[in-house]
Amino acid sequence: MTVTRRITVALGDRSYDVVVGRGARRELAALLPPTARRAAVITQSTIPFTVETGLPTVRIDIGAGEWAKSLTTVEHIAGGLARMGLTRRDVVVAVGGGMVTDVAGFAAATWHRGTPVVHVPTTLLGMVDAAIGGKTGVNLAEGKNLVGAFWQPSGVVCDLDALDMLPDREWRSGNGEMAKYHFLTGDDLAAMDLAARVARCVELKAEVVAADEREDGRRVILNYGHTLGHALEIATEYELTHGEAVGIGLVYAAELARRLGRIGDARVDEHRLVVRGMYGLPTTVPVGIAPGRLVELMRRDKKAIAGLTFVLDGPHGVEAVAGIDEHTVVEALALMS
């Protein structure tokens, strides 16, 4: 028996549902656009999870890892869509982790200047964050997600059955985003069962996206821990997973907020306890990475419109803080060994 929850991302005539639960993939066909006559499933050969669209379907496999999150991969997808003759009235279905939904979403956004996409995330990180909200994109050597588009899906299917074979490290990567939501919601997510945890994260993201679709204001809080996190991913050549890097970034953001007088010692200690104790994530910057290199990468962050910009905790909650002095940023990095 399929037991699912539906959370709506309320965006007017572009609203869509996120279906969460075991067996949720059975509801995929109902989320496809009624105009679709064909489907292109974008996935990876290493992903054992499969879906039935109920339509004539062509599968396009892409490479694995952050290095495949590139414009070259988008070109590969576009070639496959062209060969099958996919039109903007058909549908792209992304089946995989956050890298797959980001790349497939961007390909859909640009194919015929906008083709519907439905996401079927198969990782915890994808379910609670990457597949929801319409932010798509690819990396450049100079930074993460620098080329992309806002393109909302027609629906998202979070089938918890896909997590049964998830490797331990992929669980930890998802836990990085889960730890972020711990601070954004104030809820003890670790005390909930898996379905409730995923649904609660989806609810918060849906609420934030509905209020600020294009990250002009409140949506920036969803980047908590990501400024240093993205820099660490690049500096380690992606030896750190996204979630591991975000975990370190959360603790760093707390240290930086303390140096700026925004929070006290107890709140910093709580960050370390949650990130390391509750979610089993690293809390220190790997040895051998020069602070100057991290500062250089953080300057390229998409939020950095007015100097070095971070999402930081404070007396009014988590918010963006711009124009932070480089000396203070480096001083806080010195506390992360």
* Catalytic machinery residues: 113, 135, 177, 205, 215, 219, 223, 226, 230, 242
Phi and psi angles of residue 145, each rounded to the nearest 5 degrees, phi first: 55, 35
Cα–Cα distances in angstroms (integers) from residue 140 to residues 5, 97, 129, 268, 276, in the given order:
37, 19, 21, 33, 30
Phi and psi angles of residue 217, each rounded to the nearest 5 degrees, phi first: -155, -105
The b/e string for 240-257 (b: 16+ C-beta within 10 A; e otherwise) is bbbbbbbbbbbbbbbbbb
Q: Which of 15, 1, 335 is nearest to 152 (CA)?
A: 15
Q: How far apart are CA 37 and CA 128, in angstroms?
A: 30
**Number of C-beta neighbours around residue 296 at 10 A:** 13
Residues whose CB falls within 8 Å of the CB of residue 18, separated by 6 or more in sequence, listed in order:
6, 7, 8, 9, 132, 155, 156, 157, 158, 202, 206
